[in-house]
Structure formats: C-alpha cells, structure tokens
Structure 1
Amino acid sequence: MAVKILNMSVLIFVLASFVLQSTYAASYTVGDTTGWNARTNGNTDLYNNWAANKNFLVGDILVFNFATGSHTVAEVTEADYNNCNSNNPTSIQTTGPASIVLNKTGAYHFICTVPGHCTVGQKLSIEVRTGPVDTAPTPGSSPNAPGTPGSDPSSSPSSTSSLVAVISLAIMSIILVLVC
C-alpha cells in the first residue's frame, strides 16, 4: 500500500511539474502596437529598445504583426543582422502575422528582407535564456509602465498563466491529500 501511495505521489509531482513549466511560456507582440514595419521614424533601435526590458525564455513566442506581402521576418546570423544581409537566412516567414517559437537558448537575430527596411531599423536582436529569471526592473527603469513608449500590457506574460498554475497545483495537492 505504501508503495502505491509513493508511486501516486511521484506521478502527481511529475504532472504538476509539467503543468507549471508549460505555464511559463509568454507571447510577445514585437513592437507592441507599432507592429513589425519599416516606419520607425528614424529610430533604428526601435525594436531593440522594445526588447530591452523583456526576459525572453525558451518556449516563449514572438508574434510579428505585418500585412502579408509588405514585410518578411527572416532569422539571420549576427553578421548578416549587423550588415542587413538577407541573402542567406536561417529561416524566413513571408505571411503575416508570423509567430516564432523561441526553442533554444542564445541569440536570435531577425530582419525584414524587403529592400531598405532593415537599414531603417526593421530588425530585432534578442537573447533567450532558460527560465524563470528575475524580472525585477533595474533601478531607474520602469518596464511596461503605462505611457512608456513601446509598453503594451498585452506584450507581458499573461497573468492567466499564473492563475492556471496555481489552480492546477491546488487541484493536484487536493488529489494527493485524498489519495494518501
């Protein structure tokens, strides 16, 4: 009987771990309400500034909002990113909106391959980490504060994910208590 309870406890713990891990994924709309476009008004760092206060984790999703036929999203090497070279992309999406799952740690570099768009700032470079990470803002900064350029609450990880995690954990804890 004790072995059965132990096996059930281990199973519930493993299931709870999977549920909690899956709730960490966030979806980010690149550029928030600006979307993915070449109209950066001379701000060639628009997208990198947008990304600066975000912690991208493996499993997160980037959503590039653009009209099909107007833009592309190409993942490129760092050298091609720096030179706006679209001749040899790792991957390219031509249909908008484009969703890209961040499935590994490390640097990701994205550009628009439409001639002239990358050079006016339609490019994004991010670093992806394993999570969770400390998301506390640095002193003097206020990421995603209302009125902050590039801050849109929809670009932050959803609080629904946290609620799902808490509810799932509570249900699994109740089941564990009933089984034991």
Structure 2
Amino acid sequence: MSQGRGSASRTAAAAALMLIYLLAQAEYARAATYTVGGSSGWTFNMASWPQGKTFRAGDTLIFKYDRTLHNVVALDKGSYDSCRTPVGAKVYNSGNDRIRLAKGPNYFICNFPGHCESAMKIAVNAA
C-alpha cells in the first residue's frame, strides 16, 4: 500500500523537529560547569576570578559558600557597580547555587553588608 503526500509531509516535519531537538541538545552538551572561586568557594576578592576564562551561554556557575555568612544576587550592571540590590533581583541563598549563564553580561554580588564593597562580586560575559 502506498503512502500519500500527507504521510511524506508528516515524515519530513518529524525529521526537521528531530534535527532541531538534536542541535539544541548538542549545544547543552558543550556547556561547561565552573565552581566560582575554585576550592576556596564564593568569598571576598572575587572580582578577578573570571579573568582569563571563556564563558558561553548555557554554562553553569556553581557558587559554594556558608549560607549564614553569604548569598548570591543576580543583577544588572548599574546595581553591580553600585553594590545595591534592586527590588526584584534574584537572590540565591542555598550555599550551593547552580546558575546557568545567559548570553551577554551576567553580574553577581553578595549583598551582605560590606561584602560587595570588599570585591565579593563577579561579572561574567557569556558568548
């Protein structure tokens, strides 16, 4: 029994969807994971930590810290520069936060009093 044109269209559409899915999965498979601060974890004087590293959208940063002493806040450049947390900023406080990088600049600080001012902050640009 032969198949009609409708079957061929559905087969082509299914193949195209499968290709798009596989390409998306390949992008995530190439994503890297970085522990911020290495073995010392998220702490003071972190601003230079990203230097010399290449980041891509979809890479994951892991922030490890004592949650009674620190946190991680994702914010915009102005707030990063001023060390001020805007209303609505995403605050992480698990002590083991996994944050996926968005394409472009990504800014993070600790907003405990005086911590951002002591360079407990990083700016990461993801290609």
CA RMSD of aligned residues (A): 2.5
Aligned to 2:28: 22
Which whole-Å CA distance do the structure 1 matches of 2:87 and 2:76 have between them?
A: 9
Aligned-partner Cα distance in 2 for 1:15–1:109? 30
What amino acid is aligned across from residue 95 of structure 2 in structure 1?
G
Deviation >3 Å, runs of 4+: 6-16
User: Structure 1 stretches of 5 or more lacking a match?
Assistant: 41-46, 130-180
Match of 1:34 among 30, 35, 40: 40
> What SS class does the counterpart of residue 114 from structure 2 fall into?
coil
- Residues 48, 122 of structure 2: 8 Å contact kept: no
SS in 1 for 2:47: helix
Shift of 1:108: 1.2
TM-score, with structure 1 as normaliser: 0.57
Matched, 1:128 2:126: yes
**What is the CA–CA distance in structure 2 between the aligned matches of 1:80 and 1:16, rounded to whole Å?**
38
The code of the aligned residue for 1:37 comes to: T
**Distance in 2, Cα, partners of 1:86 & 1:13:** 42
TM-score of the two chains, using structure 2 as the length reference: 0.77
- Whether the 8 Å contact between 2:47 and 2:119 is mirrored in structure 1 is no
| Higher strand residue share | 2
Corresponding residue for residue 3 of structure 2:
none
Residue type of the partner of 1:127? N
Deviations 1:150-170 (A, max 9, x none): xxxxxxxxxxxxxxxxxxxxx
Deviations 1:36-95 (A, max 9, x none): 123x3xxxxxx3322111221111111111012210100122111111112535211111
Structure 1 equivalent of residue 50 of structure 2:
51
Separation in structure 2 between the aligned mates of residue 32 and residue 22 of structure 1, nearest angstrom: 22
How many residue pairs get aligned? The number is 119
